[in-house]
Amino acid sequence: MKLPRIFALIILLIMFLHTLLAQEHNLPFSVGEKLVYNTSFGIVPAGTFTLMLSDGGDISGYPCYLITSNSRTNGVFDLLYKIRDETESYWDTEKFVVRKFIKRISEGSWKQYRIHYYFPEDTTYYYVTYKKDGRKQEKSTSLPDPQDTYTIIYWVRLQELAVGDTLNLNISLDGDNHPVELLVEKKETLDTIFGKKDCFKITPNIPEESQKKSFIVMDIWVTDDEYKIPVKLTIEIKYGTFTFKLKDAENVELTKK
């Protein structure tokens, strides 16, 4: 058997084992899930946003999921404000805390490349910034059970939800700490790729000091079922609102219409 075939079989075996593990723990997601969203700014089509869940290997000896996000504006919106953002979150498969976070930000003339290394056991993390003038590393203290901007979405899917509930989590990012309250505000019926679905709307309550920082604040709509698929997201910025509506989903249990 040729080596490429052996490697392909090994990768398939790993994905199969992770899927079995997810089923064993009754998780609402599994390795291989891919969610693709249409992005609009107000009523203007703006581009696409993609979330993918894959095997992240071991970080500091802890098995992790890899949550990858990719944001791209379309050709027309590029003329106004070109976005090419990518992030990688290495999320502990057992403790559901972030262990490594990479972001490559390209928004207009603003460029940023940072890597975060988390050690939740002693609430420390390091973040490394790469700029034109070189590499800079800083040490910071995290809050317990840290999350990053995008692990929030998957953390929410693990929770039991009921209207009126408040969920508490901690975000540690770029040297700052953000204790966040998420309010399960209400239920709404949305038209989705799965048909009409009852969904929970989850709204963050961000402390004022965190709102002043470059921190993404998003509302999340997840399906009211065992999978809690995020079918809609909104992010408010100074000049308006970005809306993300799920247009395609791969390797999810719900059946598309």
Task: Tell me if 37 is assigned to some domain.
Answer: yes
By the 8 A CB rule, do 65 and 91 touch?
yes
Task: Tell me if 257 is assigned to some domain.
Answer: no
Same domain, 85 and 170: yes
Q: pLDDT tens digits for 49-68?
A: 999 999 999 999 999 999 99
Q: What average pLDDT score do residues 88-99 get?
A: 97
pLDDT: which is higher, 132 or 10? 132
Of 10, 65, 67, 6, nearest in space to 34 by CA: 67
CB neighbour class for 172 (10 Å; exposed up to 12, middle 13-18, buried from 19): buried
DSSP summary character for residue 255: P
Report d(CA 154, CA 247) in Å as an integer.
Answer: 18
Q: pTM for the complete prediction? A: 0.85
Same domain, 95 and 198: yes
Task: Tell me if 112 is assigned to some domain.
Answer: yes
Task: Tell me if 119 is assigned to some domain.
Answer: yes
Same domain, 17 and 90: no
Same domain, 206 and 122: yes
Residue 213 C-beta-side C-alpha neighbours within 13 Å:
14
Domain count, the chain: 2
Q: Which strand (E) or helix (H) includes residue 160?
A: none
Query: Phi, psi (5° rounding) for residue 47?
Result: 155, -145
Same domain, 24 and 71: no
Same domain, 13 and 44: no
Q: pLDDT tens digits for 164-222?
A: 999 999 999 988 898 999 999 999 999 999 999 999 999 998 666 555 455 567 899 99
- Domain extent, residue 10, equals 1-29
Same domain, 7 and 130: no
Same domain, 82 and 15: no
**pLDDT given for residue 256 in this prediction:** 73
CB neighbour class for 32 (10 Å; exposed up to 12, middle 13-18, buried from 19): middle
Report d(CA 105, CA 114) in Å as an integer.
Answer: 9
Same domain, 230 and 113: yes
Same domain, 8 and 101: no
Task: Tell me if 184 is assigned to some domain.
Answer: yes
Three-class DSSP category at 2: coil
Give the distance between the most distant pair of CA atoms in the chain: 60
Task: Tell me if 241 is assigned to some domain.
Answer: yes
Same domain, 20 and 115: no
Q: If pLDDT is split at 50, 70 and 90, which confidence band does 162 have? A: very high
Task: Tell me if 89 is assigned to some domain.
Answer: yes
Q: Is the pLDDT confidence value at 95 over 90?
A: yes
Q: Which residues, other chains included, contact 126 with Cβ-Cβ below 8 Å and sequence gap of 6+?
A: 116, 117, 137, 138, 139, 140
Task: Tell me if 255 is assigned to some domain.
Answer: no
Q: Which residue has the tokens 């071991």?
A: 58
Same domain, 24 and 78: no
Report d(CA 27, CA 114) in Å as an integer.
Answer: 30
Q: Which strand (E) or helix (H) includes residue 131?
A: strand 124-131
